[in-house]
Structure 1
Amino acid sequence: MRTELIVSTYNNPRSLGLCLASVARQGILPDGIAIADDGSGPETAAVVEAFALPGVAVRHVWHEDRGFEKNAILNRAIATSEAEFLLFLDGDVLIRPDFVARHLEIARPDRWSSGSLIRLDAAASAAVTEDLIASGEVFSRDWLRAHGALDRFGTWLKTRPFPKPVMAALDRLTPVQRAWGGSNASAFRAALVKVNGFDESMKYGGEDKELGVRLTNAGIRGQHSRYLASVVHLDHSRGYVDPEIIRANKDRIREARRSGLAWAVDGIVKPAV
């Protein structure tokens, strides 16, 4: 089974470089990596060009900057992928060395998977270096606690304080809604094609969760790896946030649940004109 890691990014070359540094330390590497670039400038292109892993195909999927069109560039990456199984990251997260292995371990054609985030504030994000990633210290409870990231018991659990069987049981039993999180998710490509990918008409604010609802409506159920596949999120500004769009997206998600909608009209396959 061929696998591809799809990493979304937009004009954040420092975070992307750190993200890729964590990708490079995977115990099981994907067969390919697609940088799904929502219109970044030459600094991001330079980061992608400089990144290479033996035996791993790296491609830069880019379109012109027309505002927030993350779903559109993700659909292009999906449509042009030759892999059977796709893993999704945002280019502002750091992944543990067993991240890919964990998603593969629970992969099933009738399931999609989503992990969780441990969020760093601006000061902690600025302190992250490639050396901290290489040593694994940035994922340690001591480092995260010292940098103010372990603010709740649930966040502490994301650091995997108990043996793997215990954490796996907590993943199964924790009563949280199964929601697709675009910064940490996976599915078989065939499942994504079945629902026509992401809805490109949706801008920032729940646009990823809507995909999870439609996958579920299509008979592809969600599963969490909240504790065994958490990622560390680097802080950054979001100049594209619009409260009105977020409210409208929430309405669309509720309607998708109510109606059983599975197919994205404005998705990978466009409506005939």
Structure 2
Amino acid sequence: MLVSLLISTYNWKEALSLCLYSAFAQTVKPAEILIADDGSREDTRQLIDEMRAKTDIPIVHVWHEDKGFRKTIILNKTLLKASYPYIIQIDGDIILEKHFIADHLELAEKGYFVCGSRVLLGRNSTSRLLKGMERYPAFFNHNLGFILNAFRFRPLRKYLATRYAKDSMWRIRGCNMAYWKDDIMKVNGYNEDLEMWGQEDVEVSYRLVHSGIQKKQLKMGGVEFHLYHKFASRANLPYHEQVLHKVIEEQIAWCENGIIKDKR
């Protein structure tokens, strides 16, 4: 199955470089790479041009002007560029284990979207990777709270897919999720009212469920490593949570301020 790998980024070309190299090294390669760029400087565009020369995978760079944290907007713009029916979404500060896409595709099924886990790397491990001192995160350097997320085991992966955290959306991470393009369009994509950081991935997941799409949890596979960085501002989080609670209580599926701006 042909896959669009959707990567969001903002002004961290060194991390994006590691992310792209890990995408190039996949046992099952994406049919295209979409980069949703929330207003990065010119050096990110230059890096992407350099990386294009190192792969035969088409790389589509979608950029808009930097007017603050507007991830939902750039994600929606980039989703419209996706050429393939299945989209795997990550962030540009992620390093993928080489079976990441293959593991996701094991769980790909009509009527479902998929949520994965991550391994949070520490400051020192991240520094070594960015300096080229390590090519891959050393296993025993992982935080003990995340070490189980670094394991792959197919029988458990299949067993847990529809059983682990079956009724919970709070484990969802936009840096490791997958969905059918038709499904994300059916709920009108991401809610662009959610500016700044927080809950945009959980909110869209609830709307997918309310539209009739079920959730699978990718455990014991789909391994990814999240480079250390400072937290983004959470100044708008109370409003985001207010929007989320309304979506949950009223079982809302369609957001008005999404990909399509005209009301249905």
TM-score (norm 2): 0.91
User: What is the aligned partner in structure 2 of residue 168 from structure 1?
Assistant: 158
2:119 maps to a residue whose letter is I
Structure 1 residue 111, shift from structure 2 partner: 0.6
Cα separation, partners in 2 of 1:132 and 1:180, compared to 1, 3 Å? same
What pairs up with 1:182-261 in 2 under 5 angstroms?
Answer: 182-203=174-195, 204-238=197-231, 240-243=232-235, 245-261=236-252
Are the counterparts in 2 of residues 115 and 227 from structure 1 also a CA contact under 8 Å? no
User: What is the aligned partner in structure 2 of residue 90 from structure 1?
Assistant: 91
2:109 maps to a residue whose letter is R
CA distance in 1, matches of 2:220, 2:129: 22
Are the counterparts in 2 of residues 95 and 232 from structure 1 also a CA contact under 8 Å? yes
CA distance in 2, matches of 1:171, 1:215: 17
CA distance in 1, matches of 2:7, 2:30: 12
Alignment equivalent of 1:144, drawn from 133, 139, 145: 139
Cα separation, partners in 2 of 1:105 and 1:254, compared to 1, 3 Å? same
1:166 maps to a residue whose letter is L
Of Structure 1 and Structure 2, the greater helix share is in: 1
CA distance in 1, matches of 2:96, 2:20: 9
Are the counterparts in 2 of residues 144 and 150 from structure 1 also a CA contact under 8 Å? no
CA distance in 2, matches of 1:37, 1:131: 27
What pairs up with 1:22-41 in 2 under 5 angstroms?
Answer: 22-41=22-41
Q: SS at the partner of 2:225?
A: strand
Cα separation, partners in 2 of 1:90 and 1:10, compared to 1, 3 Å? same
CA distance in 2, matches of 1:95, 1:267: 29
User: What is the aligned partner in structure 1 of residue 257 from structure 2?
Assistant: 266
Are the counterparts in 1 of residues 160 and 217 from structure 2 also a CA contact under 8 Å? no
Q: SS at the partner of 2:80?
A: helix
Structure 2: which 5+ runs fail to align? none
Q: Which moved more, 1:213-222 or 1:49-58?
A: 49-58
Cα separation, partners in 2 of 1:168 and 1:159, compared to 1, 3 Å? farther
Q: What whole-Å deviation, never above 9, does each CA across 1:29-86 have from its counterpart, x for those lacking one?
A: 1110011100000111111111135442111100000101101111011112221111
CA distance in 1, matches of 2:49, 2:239: 38
Structure 1 residue 167, shift from structure 2 partner: 4.0
Structure 1 residue 156, shift from structure 2 partner: 2.6
Structure 1 residue 171, shift from structure 2 partner: 4.4
Are the counterparts in 1 of residues 122 and 143 from structure 2 also a CA contact under 8 Å? no
Are the counterparts in 1 of residues 120 and 225 from structure 2 also a CA contact under 8 Å? yes
2:248 maps to a residue whose letter is R
Are the counterparts in 2 of residues 214 and 261 from structure 1 also a CA contact under 8 Å? yes
Q: What whole-Å deviation, never above 9, does each CA across 1:89-136 have from its counterpart, x for those lacking one?
A: 100011111111111121112111011111012222111156744xxx
Sequence identity (%): 28
User: What is the aligned partner in structure 1 of residue 21 from structure 2?
Assistant: 21
User: What is the aligned partner in structure 2 of residue 76 from structure 1?
Assistant: 77
TM-score (norm 1): 0.88
CA distance in 2, matches of 1:194, 1:80: 16
1:6 maps to a residue whose letter is L
Q: SS at the partner of 1:80?
A: coil
CA distance in 1, matches of 2:172, 2:149: 17
Cα separation, partners in 2 of 1:156 and 1:36, compared to 1, 3 Å? same
